Chains A and B, each alone.
Chain A
Amino acid sequence: MKKLILPLLVLIAGGVAVGYYMWNKPPATVDRKTPDYTLDSQTLYADFQKNEDTANARYLGKVIQVTGVIQEIVPGEDLRMQVILETGDIMSRINCVMEETHAQFLQRNLKKGDTVTIKGFCTGMLDDVIIDRCIVVTG
């Protein structure tokens, strides 16, 4: 019986540690995730324009890897940089909210007109299609 106490305590301590980690871990980041969909900005835009409900069923909450031409680079209200990709529609673009701050992003030397590939989680469409927690894959 005594022999079991120590391994049992280790098991319990392990369980508590895992529980604590699970309870407190921050939301997932996209960098190690394989994209659920790899496509270009025009296709993503077209899918949402054609039928928002169908597009939501397909893309909402999924990891999207999107390639497009940079239309605009905008600092967000929460200091995260936003990269807007062209869709041909001035009112509805692909709005990628980057995990990086303005300062971090500016070091990339990316500018309007460059083609870039970005990976993030699709959170839906308001006027723009929004891809959140993004990282640059190539560009």
Chain B
Amino acid sequence: MKTGIAIVICAIMALPLSAQKYFTRDGKISFHSDAPLEKIEAHNSKVSSVLDMSSGDIEFAVLIKSFRFEKALMEEHFNENYLESSKYPKATFKGKVANIGTVDISATGEHTVTVKGEMTIHGVTKPLETTGKLKTGDGSVRASSVFEITVADYNIEIPKVVRENIARVVQVHVEIHYKPLEQ
């Protein structure tokens, strides 16, 4: 009997603190290209992301074909020529929020944080560091960040013909409403 209880207690203590993990399947990422001839923007509202509020680990995954553009031609070129989404269907980010311990999940507040990790786009992985905001309160976490990506860093080739239509550096906006992960 005593051995049985001891085993159960050990098993419970071994369980991860899942209450600290936050998750979404509906994160929003948009990017903006401001070039001499044209302003292009695309939106993706099906970003998957997990944020561990105890370790600071943060991960994103986004399907390239879920980006929506205003114009068919831009969407086709983006998928077929620039990002080759049939070959590389996803973009991912794996990193860590620095100083996550300073963010009190139970209090209402807004915190500026630094996120460091690796971004993989078009099959190319590059380090990425940026700042972001974490808003806590009401049991959820709202994260937002704006950063820039140099298109050529990810071996994305823009043909000379549309060179003046697409910026070399693209602005990325991330907006995620994380909710506790039920396990």
Contact = CB atoms under 8 A, between A and B. Distances in A.
Interface string B47-72: 01000000000000111111011111
B122 to A, nearest CB: 15
A73 B86 CA distance: 29
Contact of B61 (A80, A95, A126): A126
B94 interface: no
Interface in B71-111: 71-73, 75, 79, 85-86, 89-90
B177 interface: yes
Interface stretch (A4-12, A24-32, A37-45, A103-111): A24-32
Interface residues of A, number: 25
Size category of the B interface is: 20 to 34
A97 interface: yes
B68 A27 contact: yes
A26 B63 contact: no
A61 B48 contact: no
Contact of A60 (B27, B62, B70, B86): B86
B28 interface: yes
A126 B28 contact: no
Given A26-B71, A27-B72, A61-B65, A126 B45 contact: no
Contacts of A80: 45
A22 interface: yes
Given A77-B27, A126-B48, A23 B65 contact: no
Given A23-B71, A77-B45, 5 more contacts: A24-B71, A80-B45, A95-B46, A97-B45, A126-B46
11 contacts: A25-B71, A27-B75, A28-B72, A61-B79, A95-B25, A97-B45, A123-B64, A125-B63, A126-B46, A126-B61, A126-B90
